[in-house]
Amino acid sequence: MSRPRIATVWLDGCSGCHMSLIDLDERILDIFGRADLVYGPLVDVKVFPENVDVCLVEGAVSSVDDLERIKTVRERTKTLIAFGDCAVTSNVPGMRNPIGVEPLLKRAYLENVDINPMIPNRIVPQLLPTSQPVNRFVDVDIFLPGCPPHADLIYTLLDDLLSGRTPSVAGARFGR
């Protein structure tokens, strides 16, 4: 049997969940001794591959690009994990929701800027009207809340999945 293929995705989040993944320390050797890391900010692969077994999705869905990516991830992934509070609840990225995109961009890029104020409209993807949790757009198989989820919880979950046990997120909760 071929080795399980793990991917990670970074949508609208601070990368703290990925930092927590790195906090697995030497246990990262155990996990990736048993599985391949095929995509994510930690590896240099540009296109989300086919046939991914497990994908950890960090971050909320906030832009048209995030939305496109999460749909691709869902199509190509067996077990999709909403990884951390932003993916699970929209958390901090969602704090803009009551404000609205236009006033938000005006505040950030026009009102508080002295030199060359302009709202970026090229290269960066357009924001969606609100920032939403992953499960508002695609089916999520496992939710791992936490800001960020503790490395022990990440290890337990990945170890369960790689060992064919029923995955556990016991002890996970919102916040830090």
Partner 1 sequence: MTVYTLKIDGRDVAGSEGQSIMDVAEENGIDIPGLCHLPGIHDRGACRLCVVKIGGSPRLAAACVTRIAEGMDVVAHDEELEEYRRAATEMMFLERNHVCAVCVANNHCELQELSADLGMTHFELPRISPTVDVDLSHKLFGLDHNRCILCLRCVRVCDEIEGAHVWDVMHRGLETRIQADMGVDWGDSATCTSCGKCVQVCPTGALFEKGRPVAAGTRDERPFLPWLRVHQEERGL
**Stretch touching partner 1 by CB under 8 A, among 18-26, 37-45, 136-144, 151-159:** 136-144
Q: Which amino acid is at 60?
A: A
Closest contact distance (angstroms) between CB of 165 and partner 1 is 18
CB 47, CB 76: distance < 8 Å: no
Binding mask 39-78 for partner 1 (x = CB under 8 A): ----------------------------------------
State CA 66 to chain mean position distance: 10
User: Rounded to an integer, what distance in angstroms lies between the CA atom of residue 31 and that of residue 33?
Assistant: 5
Contacts of 73 (CB under 8 A, 6+ apart): 7, 9, 48, 52, 55, 57, 80, 138
Closest contact distance (angstroms) between CB of 82 and partner 1 is 7
**Stretch touching partner 1 by CB under 8 A, among 68-76, 112-120, 130-138, 151-159:** 130-138
CB 39, CB 76: distance < 8 Å: no
Nearer to partner 1, 38 or 128 (CB): 128
Helix (H, G, I), strand (E, B) or coil at 67: helix
Residue 80 binds partner 1, judged by CB under 8 A = no
Q: Which of 11, 38, 147, 154 binds partner 1 (CB under 8 A)?
A: 147
From the list 104, 103, 107, the residue with the least C-alpha distance to 93 is 104
Which residues contact partner 1 by CB under 8 A? 82, 85, 88-92, 94-95, 97-99, 130, 132-133, 135-136, 140, 143-145, 147, 169-170, 172-176
